[in-house]
Structure 1
Amino acid sequence: LIGADQDTFTGLNFHYLPPKFRAILLDRVNAKVGRGIINWKKISKIPQVAPTVKKYRFDQIMRKVIPIEENEQEIAIFLPLERFRKASKTSVWSDSKRKFG
């Protein structure tokens, strides 16, 4: 979770990246920020984070949002939980890889 207001929240959704790129990004985030609460000021300096920053409206969330504990991050990024409404995961991942650099 990066931020929230009354109607929306912003966070990192690693599932916009293919699994290999998720692992690379998680390593970069942990190297830059370390463990603990994500600091947007630090994480925003990682260019590869851009395709994962997503803003969601609370009233559009159909499933329960589950916070990921630090010790579960490496497992969670590889779970096949991605579901996209308007495009296939192949298309989303291809677009994200272009932004990843």
Structure 2
Amino acid sequence: MASVNLELTPIHQCSVSGCTFNSDVSCHAPAITVGDHGANHCGTFLGLPTKHGSAAKPVVGACQLADCSHNTDLTCTASAVEMGTSASGETECLTYSAA
């Protein structure tokens, strides 16, 4: 039987003010997906004007960035992540580190 990692990586902070799950630099999505077709994007970003969510402990549910040193079997192993906006305006994982 396969084991499941129930200690998922917490989201330390998110500075993406345009995301509906962000309130006071804090992510309120229950879980996020990092990576969007191989790009370092937050796959959970939602740009609605109304703020939603109330997750007390948001986590990285999955990481699709195979080339990140924190990725093991699609699970983030960093102690915590920070999400933010890149210079190009994309919402991404600022904790990403190339393997």
Same fold (TM over 0.5): no
TM-score (normalised: structure 1): 0.26
Greater length-normalized contact order (CA 8 Å, ≥ 6 residues apart)? 1
The structure whose residues are more often strand, as a share, is: 2
The structure whose residues are more often helix, as a share, is: 1
